[in-house]
Structure 1
Amino acid sequence: MLGRFTGVANRLLAGAALWGALTYGVHAADPQPYVTSLAPTGQSDLDTALKASSDLLSLQSTRAVGPFALAGRVRSEYDRLQVALESCGYYAGKVHIQLRSAKQGVTMDGMSTALASWIESIPANEKVDISIKVDKGPLFHLGSVKLVESATGVAPHLSDAQTKAFGLHTGQPAVAADVLAAGGRLLDALRESGHALAQVDKPMAYLRPATRTLDIVYPVVPGPVLDIGKISLDGLKRMNASFVRRRLTVHEGELYQPSSIEAARQDLTSLGVFSNVTVRDASDKAVNGTMPLDFSFQEGKRHAIGAELGYSTDLGARVGAMWTHYNLLGNAERLRLTALITGLGGSAQQGLGYDVYADFFKPDFLESKQNLNARIEGLRQLFWSYRQTALLLRGGITRPLAKNWTGNFGLAAEQERIEQFDESRSYTILSAPLSGMYDNTGVGNPIEPATHGVRASINITPSLSLGSKGAGESFFAIMNATASTYVDLHKLGISPPGRSILAFRGTIGSIQGASTWDIPPDQRMYAGGSATVRGYRWQGVGPQYGNTKYAIGGTSLDAGTVEYRQRLFKSFGMAAFADAGQVGNSSMPFTGTLRVGAGGGVRYYTPIGPIRLDVAVPLNRAPRGDAWDLYIGLGETF
């Protein structure tokens, strides 16, 4: 009977309390706005952790709630900030939260049991001021640090490299992130040493307040050292499995190493025929002392259509389309057909031209990592310097020479007809280009801007010109070298990483074996335009034919550029640059009239690369030269 009466009484009291709350809170705000302030602790990493953990800060403007929910948010804040304190090694810290009504001048402690009712009493048009102060207390350090095998309870035998990778030691600050990261590093080191089945469980931590230390015990199961076992290939449809197996850079019987396996996966992805490549262990236990692997593939679309568009005031607009066939014969061969209309309104052009070509690419030609490139091209160019109609055949082999070094050797044949200074001549040119390229920028996509490192190339092209119809026979060698480097000002402490870049470029060239007039006009050296000296039209730097726009070309070239690139906001940027260069009639560079241009531009950064718009002016304008030039394109100039 007493129990029944008590239950009824409790329900009555609860009902009365609810009615009181409803009638008392008629004028209360729901949701209740508030403003939070978090006092700095004087330690930047701890302040960052506290701010990231605070719901009161992160939700105050986006998820306003009523009085009771806000009281719950305040109470949960203690636990969240306490976790942040402990994650930074402060296990004896205290969190203090005070709420204040500015109009009423009343302060309430965040731990008060009457907090919800107090918040409800705040008038509807008033914000609550919430102040958070954290006493971090003493910094705890690691006490004993032990690694134990789960099955035996004894310390596992680790190599020096594995012990170094683990990295935890007695006396270092007891920062949670460091403790947890040590386990991940140890697991990576074990797997990299062939322990494919290694396990490193979450550590057990024992707090010692008297000594302000934290003892750590890490359970570890190294497991056996395994080799790579059977490799299966799943998902191949049009790709030949035999080609993929030859391409694989890991093989059965080799030591199991995740880094080598991941490198093999990325290499297969780089072929450009797969939309996705994944690799996983094919077993949860050892198979005859090995770990089998399962590579899974999703083949991408075989065909693609694209467009090309560019503009500069000297070369005018170029517009066209391209069609690409991927995996032409089942071995990742690529065929690309391109058709462009060129010379639309350029100051260096006399009329419309065209550029039509077919590119064929075959990876792993004759041997691994050796690629075949071939092109057949028909073009017509109507420059002020000369008018050219040509058919070209080119083929070459590209292969890695050493780390960051790539070599190329090829053969080329060109049949052309060139009109220059009212004289028309035909040429048959045979050449054997040889080049070496160095690149340690780490940027695989040529459109993506580099932020550090060096790019360099050196080219030597022995050529034989078999003239006809007024053109003589000549043998000459074209030699040129280009280098660019990129300096991230973050290294000087000036800006965040990748935001402020200084870029430098230098080019030098020489033609040996023949004089200017014995060399076909299109084989001579020219400067001007975005590739050398901006502010001067294409082929606008160097010897000119009298007081005209006609460039003669030369047998030597040198040019240099310095450019400052600054990212602004998320998607925009700007650049400022200065270029200088000259073309001479001597085979020795640094002869001729030096021309200097300067300018600036803006960038809009897209997922595939920056869209560039630059304006440049000549600082010592050539006779009949442009007063300024505009350049629009995709990607940086170098």
Structure 2
Amino acid sequence: MTNLDPTGQSDLDTALKASSDLLSLQSTRAVGPFALAGRVRNEYDRLRGALESCGYYGGTVHIMLRNGKQGIAMDGMSSALASWLGAVPEHDRVDITVRIDKGPLFHLGSVKLVESATGVAPHLTPDQQKAFGLHTGQPAIAADVLAAGGRLMDALRESGHALAQVDKPMAYLRPDTRTVDIVYPVVPGPILDVGRISMEGLKQVHQSFVRRRLSVHEGELYQPSRIEAARQDLTTLGVFSNVSVRDASSKAVNGTMPLDFSFQEGKRHSIGGELGYSTDLGARVGASWTHNNLLGNAERLRLTALITGLGGSAQQGLGYDVYADFFKPDFLESKQNLNARIEGLRQLFWSYRQTALLLRGGITRPLAKNWNGNFGLAAEQERIEQFGVSRSYTILSAPLSGMYDNTGVGNPIEPATHGVRASINVTPSVSLGSKGAGTSFFAIMNATASTYVDLHKLGISPPGRSILAFRGTIGSIQGAGTWDIPPDQRMYAGGSATVRGYRWQGVGPQYGHTKYAIGGTSLDAGTVEYRQRLFKSFGLAAFADAGQVGSNSMPFTGTLRVGAGGGVRYYTPIGPVRLDVAVPLNRAPRGDSWDLYIGLGETF
């Protein structure tokens, strides 16, 4: 058995344990005396290397072996070690104790950068000198010295020095002053622009489209960060399984560095499924088929068919949702995307029965860092039955929205651990009703914001393991009263999007003491949720929701409903599978006593 005495310095102890052969090999089968003697002698060099890597160049390693039954000890440096080990009875255990005298910490003495060809110091900009970061007097830690060379290399290349070289440093030990002098050989090379850009591997995707999309261009300053950003941007198109880029030459070509982009196209067609369940909306199940490169310019066509309302306390029967989505990137200009949908649906809620045909189209584009905007047009032809009366509506609207997201999470299913998500939406609308419904003009306005706090910042848990999540929603409809607005355009609350523990449309004005929701013209809701990761793939959540729906256009009116509950998570490569149970704390008349929610991804 091997025991390594702690030095009292955690980073040094970690380096010593990682370097120790005796520790890593003690769990293997027993070895012969000569093999063990060899490992012991090699241990001195390994541990001295770990000491020096942490700046302790005068340290001493002591290794003592003891045969417990006989009470005899042997120094690991003894020339008689192998003979001593050979005399230990076969079934006796040998205990090994390793003790470190780390000695004084050495510091950097002189730090020089020299050009290999001339032997003189290269001319560096202030940013490059700051990136290098080594200076006289700092601890002589090997990882810091080596990292400085990597940072300088990155800084030089980012300044256009595409052929820059920073070789391994030469170190000169000065025991008398307990310092280490460092000399770094550097070859900055010339400043280059981006040269000819070649593209390989494009088959179904048009090269002209990729070149228009490419955010780095010939003649621009060579900067690896911009080149990598261009590569990553191409991967977001969804038509490539891999995009790589490399320098296409080992030397400058007329003052430039040519680039070679290589592409591996993904599958053009894919099939997916959708499954979800909650006790209020019941189960929804369906499938989708996607063409990922319809016209050769990364256009996407997705056809989806869902059966909805399979059970559920807010449902009166089966419904359907069938739609076709079309997405075209870089519509008219770069980073401006076109989205269009045609949809047919039937929903049989307790509050109303709806059969509708919808047409929607919109343009989404970035507005600023972390900000995106959307403007669209929509038309809906529907027939709604509510309280035994059927009416037809034609609704025309022009939705406008802004979205902010600095969570750094590109996949909406992946849980956020920090940052803010927010959206604000304004939808001017006109409803052309059938006889008895009339015409009305109104504007639907709502805003939602969520934020995520990693308790690691408070020193409570490891990063990403314990998260507090907050969500707030506020909405108002201006320009018309409740009864002048088609039922599906009114505001409702209840369910996973607002107040869990209450069925969908179970919060807000009800028709007498029935399960029929009237809907309202204002809404406000808030959530606080604690999320805790357990082990590798499991997690728990606890939450409290509150919200209300009012009959006038001013939020914070109506009857406040509060729900609370908890759930479990199972984390998969594509996102967490969520199971939540919630109960109402002030149950509405004829409301559910509890609700269950199952889905993929967090609720927000």
Q: Same fold (TM over 0.5)?
A: yes
Residue in 1 aligned with 2:466? 500
1:110-189 pair list within 5 angstroms: 110-189=76-155
Candidates 213, 217, 229, aligned match of 1:263: 229
Q: Secondary structure at the match of 2:500?
A: coil
Residue in 2 aligned with 1:71? 37
Distance 2:176 2:275 in 1: 72
1:300-319 pair list within 5 angstroms: 300-319=266-285
Of 154-163 and 339-348, more deviation after overlay is shown by 339-348
1:387-466 pair list within 5 angstroms: 387-466=353-432
- 1:557-609 CA distance string (max 9 Å, x none): 00000001111111111111100000000100000000000011111111111
Residue in 2 aligned with 1:365? 331
Distance 2:94 2:225 in 1: 54
Indicate yes or no: 2:69 matched with 1:103: yes
Distance 2:427 2:306 in 1: 27
Q: Secondary structure at the match of 2:148?
A: helix
In structure 2, stretches of 5+ residues that fail to align are none
Residue in 1 aligned with 2:309? 343
- 1:174-226 CA distance string (max 9 Å, x none): 00000000000000000000000000000000000111000000000000000
Residue in 1 aligned with 2:522? 556
- 1:142-187 CA distance string (max 9 Å, x none): 0000000000000000000000000000000000000000000000
After TM superposition, give the deviation of residue 522 of structure 1 in Å: 0.5
Residue in 2 aligned with 1:532? 498
After TM superposition, give the deviation of residue 67 of structure 1 in Å: 3.2
Q: Secondary structure at the match of 1:217?
A: strand
Distance 1:633 1:121 in 2: 66
Residue in 1 aligned with 2:252? 286
Distance 2:286 2:332 in 1: 34
After TM superposition, give the deviation of residue 119 of structure 1 in Å: 3.0
- 1:58-79 CA distance string (max 9 Å, x none): 2222465333322222222111
Relative distance call for 1:123 and 1:322 in structure 2 (3 A) is farther
Q: In structure 1, what residue type is equivalent to 2:364?
A: T
Residue in 2 aligned with 1:299? 265
Distance 2:131 2:297 in 1: 41
Q: Secondary structure at the match of 1:184?
A: helix
Residue in 2 aligned with 1:325? 291
Candidates 576, 589, 592, aligned match of 2:558: 592
Q: In structure 2, what residue type is equivalent to 1:512?
A: Q
Q: In structure 2, what residue type is equivalent to 1:539?
A: Q
Bigger Rg over Cα: 1
RMSD: 1.0
Q: In structure 2, what residue type is equivalent to 1:536?
A: Y
After TM superposition, give the deviation of residue 136 of structure 1 in Å: 0.6
Q: Secondary structure at the match of 2:524?
A: strand
Q: In structure 2, what residue type is equivalent to 1:528?
A: G
Q: Secondary structure at the match of 2:227?
A: helix
- 1:28-66 CA distance string (max 9 Å, x none): xxxxxxx22111111111111111111222222246533
- 1:97-124 CA distance string (max 9 Å, x none): 1122222222222222333333343344
Q: Secondary structure at the match of 1:183?
A: helix
Distance 1:451 1:63 in 2: 44
Distance 1:254 1:86 in 2: 44
Distance 1:242 1:472 in 2: 51
Of 171-180 and 465-474, more deviation after overlay is shown by 465-474
Q: In structure 1, what residue type is equivalent to 2:405?
A: D
Candidates 386, 390, 402, aligned match of 2:352: 386
Residue in 2 aligned with 1:31? none
Distance 1:43 1:390 in 2: 70
Q: Secondary structure at the match of 1:117?
A: helix
Candidates 34, 41, 49, aligned match of 1:83: 49
Distance 2:34 2:19 in 1: 21
Relative distance call for 1:119 and 1:314 in structure 2 (3 A) is farther
After TM superposition, give the deviation of residue 421 of structure 1 in Å: 0.8
Q: In structure 2, what residue type is equivalent to 1:237?
A: K
Residue in 2 aligned with 1:57? 23
Distance 1:622 1:65 in 2: 74
Distance 1:253 1:495 in 2: 48
Relative distance call for 1:512 and 1:52 in structure 2 (3 A) is same
In structure 1, stretches of 5+ residues that fail to align are 1-34
- 1:417-441 CA distance string (max 9 Å, x none): 1111111111111100000000000
Candidates 538, 541, 556, aligned match of 1:575: 541
The aligned length equals: 604
Q: In structure 1, what residue type is equivalent to 2:334?
A: S
Q: Percent identity?
A: 89
Distance 2:358 2:88 in 1: 84
Distance 1:577 1:426 in 2: 40
Q: Secondary structure at the match of 2:152?
A: helix
- 1:461-502 CA distance string (max 9 Å, x none): 001101014321111000000000001111111111111111
- 1:530-563 CA distance string (max 9 Å, x none): 0000011111100111111111100000000000
Distance 2:89 2:269 in 1: 66
Distance 1:116 1:591 in 2: 87
Distance 1:63 1:440 in 2: 52
Q: In structure 1, what residue type is equivalent to 2:456?
A: H
Distance 2:577 2:24 in 1: 35
Residue in 2 aligned with 1:486? 452
Distance 1:453 1:526 in 2: 28
Distance 1:62 1:603 in 2: 38
Indicate yes or no: 2:212 matched with 1:242: no
Distance 2:58 2:457 in 1: 38
Distance 1:268 1:351 in 2: 45
Candidates 5, 10, 14, aligned match of 1:48: 14
